[in-house]
Every structure is written in C-alpha cells, then in structure tokens.
Amino acid sequence: MSWQAKLLGMHMRAVVKPWLARIDSPGDFAADVGRFNLLLRRPPFLRRFSRPDGLTWLSAGETAEGLAILYFHGGAYVAGSPDNYSGPLGQLSFLSGIEVCAPRYRLAPAAPFPAAYHDAKRAWRKLRRLGFAPEDIVIGGDSAGGGLALALLSKLCRRGTPPRAAFAFSPWTDLAMTGDSLRENRDTEAMLPAERMADVVDLYLGTHRRTDPRASPLYAAFPNCPPVLLQYGETEILRDDSRRMADRLRGYGAPVTEEVVPDVPHVWQILDGWLPEARASLESTARFVQDSFATPTSR
C-alpha cells in the first residue's frame, strides 16, 4: 500500500464516511459527489465529443477506429454522470487507445428501477445502430455502474450477442446484501457506511425483488460469456459482491480475472494522479481491453 493510499484512507474514514452516513437526501449526495469529482485529474489532450447517438464520448491521444468501451458510471443509482468521470475515463482511453462511450442513465428517486437498466440496453442499441458489432465493444463500469454493466452483460449473453469482454471496478452486484463483507469489513471500509446501504436499496428498488438479476447480476445467467476483469479492494464492504460474482461467472465457463488490492478506497481507479494504485489498475484494465481486442473471437 502506498503512503498516499494510507493517508487518503485515514482521511476518508475520519471525514468522508461519517459525512455519507449523515446525508438525508439523494439531492445532497448528488451535489456533493459532483463537487468531489472536480478534484479528479484529466489527461492532456482530453476530447469530449458526440455522435448522432446523443451519448457522451471521450478520448485522449490516438485511438483505434471502429472500437469502443461502453462505460457506466457509479453513484449508487442516485448520483453521478459522465461529466464527473471525464478525467479517469479520458485516462483509460489514452492508456488503451480506445474511445470511451459514457451514457447518461436515469437516476432514483425520480426514475427508480428498472429505468437505469433500460437506459443501459438503449445505449447498447445506439452503439449497434452506429455500426459497432458486439465484438467491437468492451463494456465496463464501477460500483452501481459496474453492476449495471454486468446486468447488461447477462442480457447480451442470453441473447447470443455478447460483447468482446467486460470489466468492473468494485461492482455492486447483490442488492439483497447477503455478502459477509458487509459485516466483516464494516470498520475497514474507507468510504461506504454499511448502515446506509439498505436505505439506498429501498430508494432504488422500492417493492421490486432484491434478487432481480437486472439489479443484482449475482443472480443472473451468463451463457457463452466473454472474458471478464474484476478489480476490487480487500477491505471494501462490497468485496464479496465481486468474489461471488467471479464464482458465478466461472460457473458459466467465463474466463475471469480477479485483481484484489489491499486497503484502497471504493473505486480507487478514479483517483488517477493522486494514488499510484489508481494508475496501476487503469493500466491493467487497458492491457485487458487491448488483449481482448487482439484475441480472435469464435463468434
């Protein structure tokens, strides 16, 4: 663990985590998340652009033509936007040489489940209409967006049109909250207050089943699944969401790579430029994306 991660973890446990535990409204959370993301560093030559699909696209440096990363942002389904992620996604584009498509999806409480899931499917259809074949796309996301990416992956696998590969940073895959790490890592978690998770689930899912695979991909099916990369922290309360997700995917024959980092904040990858661990994880993700596109597919 770097000294930067150690200091940041101490600060987040002392300041950020108690603040999140006290927040009363999603609006307050969304506003403060937006201000925090202003601290995220951007790579040189970052470019934001749009195509006729109405989606947000990001790139930095030279990129390959005809390939895309479809990325869903985190924020517990109540906050966040592609605007907040310009820096880390621009860096991922620079490191991988692939353009990143970061769609907006509707948020609770104004648009509860299954709005975000339907928006994820809509973003995929828009890429297809632009001429991207399934094997031209890698899908990914972080936290709630990571769960959304994996839920979309299940849909595409069951349809017989899976993407080239998928990755997720600390994904939230079990909104039934049955993972042991919710209890075991309650104190070691640097950012998320375990006692507030049920409130967010209620806000997003309402009366829907907590094990609905469109919200909790841990309970989904993944036939003919492409390679998947999962990165998560050993001390996170969502650690077991990734561990068990890896087992679930392997049960369907998927090639799964797990990268576990000790004592880092939730979704540390977005802190590129602040934490050495963030750059190392983004570089590893970029290699995974490049290797996926370089490997011939039988589909």
Range 269-273 contact pairs with CB under 8 angstroms and sequence separation of 24 or more: 269/88, 269/142, 269/169, 269/231, 270/37, 270/40, 270/85, 270/87, 270/88, 270/142, 271/8, 271/40, 271/88, 272/40, 272/41, 272/87, 272/88, 272/91, 273/40, 273/41, 273/87
Pairing of the two strands 228-233 and 165-169: parallel
Of 96, 143, 170, 181, the catalytic one is 143
Pairing of the two strands 56-60 and 46-49: antiparallel
| Residue at token pair 């470019």 | 47
Answer for the pair 239, 181: CB distance below 8 angstroms, yes or no. yes
Q: Starting at the edge strand that comes first in sequence, how are the strands of the sheet with 99-102 ordered? A: 46-49, 56-60, 99-102, 68-72, 137-142, 165-169, 228-233, 256-261
| CA triple 34-229-50, angle to 5 deg | 45
118 is catalytic: no
Answer for the pair 40, 270: CB distance below 8 angstroms, yes or no. yes
Give the closest residue to 217 by CA, choosing from 120, 108, 101. Answer: 120
236 is catalytic: yes
Of 266, 277, 281, 292, the catalytic one is 266
Q: What is the DSSP letter of 142?
A: E
266 is catalytic: yes
Give the closest residue to 155 by CA, choosing from 143, 139, 144. Answer: 139
Of 99, 135, 236, 277, the catalytic one is 236
Q: Which residues pair with 256 in a beta bridge?
A: 228
**Ranges assigned E (strand) in 1-156:** 46-49, 56-60, 68-72, 99-102, 137-142
Neighbours of 41 (CB within 10 A): 14
Catalytic residues: 143, 236, 266
